[in-house]
Amino acid sequence: MSVVAQPTPNPNAMKFTADSLIFKGDGSVSVAAGQTSEYDIMNDLMKVDGVDNVFGFQNFITINKKMDAEWDAVTPEVEKVFEEHGY
């Protein structure tokens, strides 16, 4: 499986799209600091240093980084989480 990182119009957000379904159904999932989700991948992404919040729908998750974080440091750690979850 593979995940592709794509920039968004927001420089603090990056969209990570998997080639398979992550979330079933028509609802989106979002997690902010201090929150947890029923989805382990979302909780694990929130543990990545520099991640501010996450939003997911079907086969993608958008990561919003903290203002002082750099994508060069955050992206590899996010990709590791996807790999650990089989994406």
pTM of the full structure? 0.95
Q: pLDDT digits over 43-59, tens only?
A: 999 999 999 999 999 99
Q: How far apart are the first and last CA of the chain?
A: 5
The structure tokens 């979302």 sit at: 42
Structural domains present in the chain: 3-84 (3.30.1370.70)
- Say whether pLDDT at 1 is over 80: no
Hey, what amino acid is at 1? M
Contacts 24+ apart (CB under 8 A), 46-53: 48/74, 48/77, 48/78, 48/81, 49/73, 49/74, 49/77, 50/74, 50/77, 51/78, 52/12
